[in-house]
Amino acid sequence: MATLGMSEADKAAVEVFRRDVVDPSMTHLVIVDFWAEWCGPCKQLAPVIEKIAAEYAAKGVLLVKINVDENRFIASQFRVQSIPTVYAIFQGQPVADLTPARTESQYRQMLDQILSQLPIQSPEKSVAEQIAPLLTMGEEVLSGGEASRALSIFSQIIDMAPGNAEAQAGQLRALIAMGETGEAETIYAELPEELTKTPALARVRSALDLAKDAKPVGNLGALQERLAGDPDDHEARFELAGGLMAQGDNDGAADALLEIIRRNRDWNEGAARTQLLKLFEVVGLEDPWVSAQRRRLSAILFG
């Protein structure tokens, strides 16, 4: 904003606007809320926009409220004709008109779209960049069978980014791999509901459920003898699958469960298929092994 020919009061208002809005907007997204004391809709909107601004602060969002009665020049520069009027400012320029938004969900949707398109600096983004290589390392270590070391890595990430779903899931999966399912259940039960609804934690829930059924079997040979005498002893085959999973033999477990489905897909209310789907979740739905087993399952169900 040029200051040539302006009154001293307008010049002061411009300087305050530059300090509070323009300068921060060089690296942050600044929400500017034009309002007035006499504006009823403004007062109704205030709690919503203030809550959203606080929620998105870690994402690099700031809120600045401008009283139009006290800042007529600034309001005129933005051609504010009615209030509330709400703009998103980045690098000194309006990038979005948020005025149509009235609910928290509408603000979230608009802000998520804006933030995905702009190079906003934020504590959250900075932390995400720091933990990305650690998450990769943790997954590689866990896949390599070093559950205890993986647990240490994921716990370190949680200290840096509490509430990170991928790190929390990695920590719990490492505990499960170590046989500490009780501790994993306790930690899972204390997690916020919104965290347990994420795909990463849904996979952990399947792993915990599976761990209850995948119990070590003292004598797998005895179960195999029962099946040799009666191939339709689905209870024995189901127990065998659990024992094989406890040993980490996913191939053998899948073979046993698929055989139950082939012989009687409805046995025990479809328990074999349910167990197999849990195993898929635990291994990872995008894993090539799961894709191969899914093809086998489809061939049995639809062949």
Q: Active site residue: 29, 32, 42, 245, which one?
A: 42
The structure tokens listed for 177 are 């791999």
Q: Active site residue: 21, 29, 31, 39, which one?
A: 39
Q: Is 39 a catalytic residue?
A: yes
Per-residue model confidence as pLDDT tens for the chain (303 residues): 555 567 888 888 889 999 999 999 998 999 999 999 999 999 999 999 999 999 999 888 999 999 999 999 999 999 999 999 999 999 999 999 999 999 999 999 999 999 988 888 777 777 777 888 999 999 898 878 788 999 999 999 999 888 899 999 999 988 888 888 899 999 999 999 989 999 899 889 988 888 877 766 778 889 999 999 999 999 999 999 988 887 878 999 999 999 999 999 999 999 999 999 989 988 888 889 999 999 999 999 997
Report how far residue 238's alpha carbon sits from residue 19's, in angstroms, rounded to the nearest whole number. 69
pTM summary value: 0.55
The residues, any chain, with a CB within 8 Å of residue 182's CB and separated by 6 or more, are none
Q: Is 211 a catalytic residue?
A: no
Whether the bond between 84 and the residue before it is cis, its omega within 30 degrees of 0, is yes
Residue 162: half-sphere exposure toward Cβ, Cα within 13 Å: 3
Whether the bond between 100 and the residue before it is cis, its omega within 30 degrees of 0, is no
The structure tokens listed for 191 are 């997690």
Contact in structure between 36 and 69 (CB atoms under 8 Å)? yes
